[in-house]
Structure 1
């Protein structure tokens, strides 16, 4: 009787205590896709637990130790039980074994590739290198997070690109150029004495995607980063990143020998200048033995470079490559160059400057090329450089941060942008010569290959401002590792790991993400329109016609007049199309057959011309503007449907941003329609309603926005 009373009292006490227990903390997004929450399906959880009862690590390698600790943390979170790390399995089965080196049984893999298989009743994560084991460990955790079975396990993967890196445009004062998620991650004023725990979590997130390099500072570089003061700070970051297989790189200010070195010149052919760079590089490697190398923006947008001394880009890049000769480092020389010539077409600038230099760069040099010829537009043709420099490795540069994609307000999933470029055929070596095959070296046999993404991370607690923008960081990393992955597969994977595993919600959110880019293009820059932004690259200002240089105006690109719209890049215009192979020219040269998404990139089209859709150019444009804005309303409706399956804080955050996006999409629609109607002199076609405001009203909105 007393026992029953005691049990009853304890049960009552438990109920009272639980009633005062704190509710689960809301998901603030900090953990990204590495959430490792307990698997709710008990049967699946137990099945995983039987295959992961212990972790075997017989090594003191910092990278393998990081892999084992990540696996331990992940499994304990997912399974809800302690998983010990032991030195040897002995006769035990049902564990995970981490192994690297010549005895790992992966001779056919490349250095960073991995195999995750069932062997002798254990799961074995194997690679030739420790870094490969780290990537395989994250692949195993991803497999479990997405609730995939462990029986007949066979995960085998090799990275298709050697250097997979983020480019941070961060400055010494903590600001980020084109950063929309707070201040810089790097607290320069605290380094090197204090290491923010966030640095390690940043490294973990990148390693989970196979990203193996990071450029920590802005391409519009400060020479201060090459001083002893800042090299100590960068070295401290490198020490945190090293156990996760990540090497640090620096953007360099080309005249640094003059600015901080006291020399009278920065001429790349001057012997004192070359010695200065050799000595500076030696100093860096003493502090950072695995330093990755240099990234350079030169003779572009006012940045100094070798042309200031009558030299060319190869002269500048090769000087830095010479300084790196004793070390395992590379030079990434950006091809984003264009001169302020009112008669020129900026589209052609990169190939005009770099085409004749093919084969003249040092083997340590990679020319880094933006995906399109202008500047990270919502949709661009691929850069003509791809396929035109068979003797020079070309790196892909994508922008993850949403400079022209609505900053951290608009939901735009970028994987379709990346894939659209990578899968386009250059015909450089015949049919099937995709941009991806240029970048991964398989087309031209490049010895070194790279893919870079301009980072969207900042000091915001959730890293990227917009919670859904985390998917763009994730998608870049996954595609840098394997560009054959589909946008849909990556989105579904990210949603499962980050937001919810509810099947219906996953399907709905994935669909929303896949359609988001095209929706944005429709209300923003449809049919090949480009760069209609005000100075901050956010507010609509297609009427903008005053700037220090013509190619910084909006009218330079769309060329609206009383006859039509678009930039003629055929033989009758700038002839930029001639920079492509004949097969590509044929696809885009005829306005009658040019795909509508690229029509106004290459043709000045009459307002009343009837298109393949059966509508005139004016009516087709209005259809895009209006349906694009309306489709943001559809996005809102889709998001409402997943409310119960997504963390409440994340749900509310995204819902609020979608409401703003809808309002701003209508702003964009009205700005374009009212502005272009002045030239088209056509009524807005049915069933679309005339905007409630005037063009002057919209211009005033932009003026107010720019006063912020």
Structure 2
């Protein structure tokens, strides 16, 4: 049993492989795992074998002996049909190229534990899952698991700049040390790849979507090649964000017009060059005609023209184009909510087969709560790739404990009604309604050079949960949280149960003290740090908080009904009818779609003003309670991480109070209503909060863009 006083800096993530602290269970594990048949010739199989032996040694203080002959129930047999050819192992085609089997079965008339797959990477995933069973104290004597990913492309997007700043990054500098690459391969690159493989992530975009054309130069392609060589061992393909104007900036052409023959040739030659360095290169991620980034519209061309040109040059190499739908323009006077739908919906079925449109989970910008994006279900003939943000740009950076899996699930399980009842977002992105489409999910990484990778120890859970839900979008946030806690901290139920509850409630707490009842985009300007509901001078209307909440003496909220901007028309009739009707619109989305009187009577019986105040104060009280619960857990985990989280919770409480007081005081200037008896009064007047300045806030990166 590991001493609870043992220091732990969090570097090992959920791959701690701590000693199994139940001796009876550990003894049973050792009895079942005395021998291993594991022929490994490829790099991926060797990595899987090394992981297995390291994990078992850490958890059981023993490594099984390698044998060729099966000795019965004490033998674990691992490999592909090909590597285990002499044993005539059968692996169902239903698990595909990346799936695996873990089962207790008879081989040569002897009972064994089998971990098998059709491919080497499938074996790697199977080994990680087998180790997870032991990490979480699960029985392994009678196994029958067949699993496979539901999505093809499961990709982390790093908004990392070449100068090692990270746009919207809150865990230190970039982990990619471009200056030392390709000569120095940091152990962190290997451990990053291991962590991704352990949850089934199979792709990594290593540079910012606000791309620097220099990434495509030979000097940098050599550096990218070095990373690709590390990632390949763990089944991860490398991708690059590319700047659409690269033919001009890097190639010296006079235009980047996607229909210009010289431009097409430049990109074709560049693709050939990239694949000469990296034969399994994944493809391009493109942010175009958004927030000042160049794109095909700069040349009076369409998104389809731009994406298809790049798709054509990648197709011979089996690469893909991930074309982002995050587009908005202050020259378009309409509701920003509507722009992506308006620009992409007309091109349904017009994109090449190897183009996938990457769509944020909601229509604005990764807010604490958003309705699902109306594009999901609206483009039946076009692949749509979900984009979630793991880095907590609008959820408290790396100082707030916010477990994002409930946010992911809320979006994924939303019913679009586009193909009838039950047409969830998850089913749409899995391609259930068009089996010909490629599928995928992207997560904006929260990884940095901090020793614990994510800044906040619980930030790691969002990386872990993303991988699990990209593998299977229907997985339960509660199950994922339980597994992560057991793998990362301890199997002690006295710790796991209350902390799981903290995690599952944490996102709702944050919505309450930041943006309750459908408020959105009311944070500080540029840095996005702290409250800023008063912001009205950010340089363009749709960067202002006042554009979104529209608070006035009559009420608050953005009218997106038929009588307002009409954004609700972008959803299926069933969704539109539900959200447009005040009797059926969920409170969570109320101010997303309606401008209501401060005295509007809520379902609770309170007025809208009183309900808003109740949520703000409840959110803060919940953070306080979260800290009190954590304090009772001292001694159940290592002192180092316990104290780190304790201090972060204290800071979160302080910042939650600031959000509450600033927002309540500001909105009170319109409502002219009291907060009611029993609520503590704000410590400072509104003017104090409006004058607060925060210097050197992390996450701005090399480019001072408003969003991403």
Instruction: For 1:8-23, list aligned pairs within 5 A.
Output: none
Task: Report the counterpart of residue 584 of structure 1 in structure 2.
Answer: 575
**What does the per-residue CA deviation read over 1:432-480, in whole Å, with 9 as the maximum and x for residues that have no partner?**
0000001011123243101000000000000000001100000000000
Greater relative contact order (Cα < 8 A, sep 6+): 2
CA distance in 2 between partners of 1:699 and 1:332 (Å)? 40
Instruction: For 1:396-475, list aligned pairs within 5 A.
Output: 396-475=386-465
Instruction: For 1:54-65, list aligned pairs within 5 A.
Output: 54-65=35-46
Equivalent residue in structure 1 for 2:680, among 683, 689, 700: 689
Contact 1:104/1:128 (8 A) holds in 2: no
- Residue 89 of structure 1: how far off its partner (Å): 3.0
The 3-state SS of whatever aligns with 2:93 is: coil
Instruction: For 1:624-703, list aligned pairs within 5 A.
Output: 624-700=615-691, 702-703=692-693
Equivalent residue in structure 2 for 1:350, among 312, 325, 340: 340
Equivalent residue in structure 2 for 1:387, among 377, 380, 405: 377
Q: Does 1:563 align with 2:554?
A: yes
CA distance in 2 between partners of 1:101 and 1:558 (Å)? 59
Q: Does 1:100 align with 2:106?
A: no
- Residue 390 of structure 1: how far off its partner (Å): 0.3
Contact 1:342/1:550 (8 A) holds in 2: no
CA distance in 1 between partners of 2:610 and 2:318 (Å)? 57
- Residue 101 of structure 1: how far off its partner (Å): 3.5
Contact 1:298/1:334 (8 A) holds in 2: yes
Q: Does 1:229 align with 2:210?
A: no
Q: Does 1:36 align with 2:17?
A: yes
Contact 1:104/1:127 (8 A) holds in 2: no
**What does the per-residue CA deviation read over 1:298-324, in whole Å, with 9 as the maximum and x for residues that have no partner?**
000000000011100010010111101
Task: Report the counterpart of residue 706 of structure 2 in structure 1.
Answer: none
Equivalent residue in structure 2 for 1:335, among 308, 325, 332: 325
Change (3 A) 1:431 1:636: same
Task: Report the counterpart of residue 186 of structure 1 in structure 2.
Answer: 176
CA distance in 2 between partners of 1:446 and 1:300 (Å)? 29
Contact 2:48/2:124 (8 A) holds in 1: yes
Equivalent residue in structure 2 for 1:112, among 98, 120, 123: 98
- Residue 538 of structure 1: how far off its partner (Å): 1.5
Change (3 A) 1:595 1:484: same
Contact 1:258/1:264 (8 A) holds in 2: yes
Which moved further from structure 2: 335-344 or 315-324?
335-344
CA distance in 2 between partners of 1:442 and 1:403 (Å)? 32
Contact 2:102/2:130 (8 A) holds in 1: yes
CA distance in 2 between partners of 1:176 and 1:690 (Å)? 38
Change (3 A) 1:193 1:471: same
Contact 2:610/2:675 (8 A) holds in 1: yes
Aligned length: 685
Instruction: For 1:488-567, list aligned pairs within 5 A.
Output: 488-535=478-525, 536-567=527-558
- Residue 705 of structure 1: how far off its partner (Å): 5.4
Equivalent residue in structure 2 for 1:378, among 368, 386, 411: 368
- Residue 107 of structure 1: how far off its partner (Å): 2.6
CA distance in 2 between partners of 1:704 and 1:424 (Å)? 37
CA distance in 2 between partners of 1:697 and 1:705 (Å)? 16
The 3-state SS of whatever aligns with 1:166 is: strand
- Residue 483 of structure 1: how far off its partner (Å): 1.3
CA distance in 1 between partners of 2:463 and 2:433 (Å)? 27
**What does the per-residue CA deviation read over 1:514-535, in whole Å, with 9 as the maximum and x for residues that have no partner?**
0000000001000000011112
- Residue 386 of structure 1: how far off its partner (Å): 0.3
Change (3 A) 1:63 1:707: closer
**What does the per-residue CA deviation read over 1:607-641, in whole Å, with 9 as the maximum and x for residues that have no partner?**
01111110000000000001111111100011112
Change (3 A) 1:316 1:470: same
TM-score for both structures, normalised by structure 1: 0.95
Task: Report the counterpart of residue 5 of structure 1 in structure 2.
Answer: none
The 3-state SS of whatever aligns with 2:114 is: strand
The 3-state SS of whatever aligns with 1:645 is: coil
CA distance in 2 between partners of 1:84 and 1:528 (Å)? 59
- RMSD of the alignment, in Å? 1.4
Contact 1:370/1:396 (8 A) holds in 2: yes
Task: Report the counterpart of residue 49 of structure 1 in structure 2.
Answer: 30
Task: Report the counterpart of residue 610 of structure 1 in structure 2.
Answer: 601
Q: Does 1:573 align with 2:564?
A: yes
Equivalent residue in structure 1 for 2:588, among 597, 604, 609: 597
CA distance in 1 between partners of 2:4 and 2:74 (Å)? 35
- Residue 326 of structure 1: how far off its partner (Å): 1.1
Contact 2:37/2:70 (8 A) holds in 1: no
The 3-state SS of whatever aligns with 1:643 is: coil
Instruction: For 1:290-301, list aligned pairs within 5 A.
Output: 290-301=280-291
Q: Does 1:304 align with 2:294?
A: yes
CA distance in 2 between partners of 1:617 and 1:573 (Å)? 20
Task: Report the counterpart of residue 154 of structure 1 in structure 2.
Answer: 144
Task: Report the counterpart of residue 218 of structure 1 in structure 2.
Answer: 208
Larger radius of gyration, structure 1 or 2? Answer: 1
Instruction: For 1:115-134, list aligned pairs within 5 A.
Output: 115-120=101-106, 121-134=111-124
The 3-state SS of whatever aligns with 2:316 is: coil
- Residue 90 of structure 1: how far off its partner (Å): 4.4
Q: Does 1:203 align with 2:184?
A: no
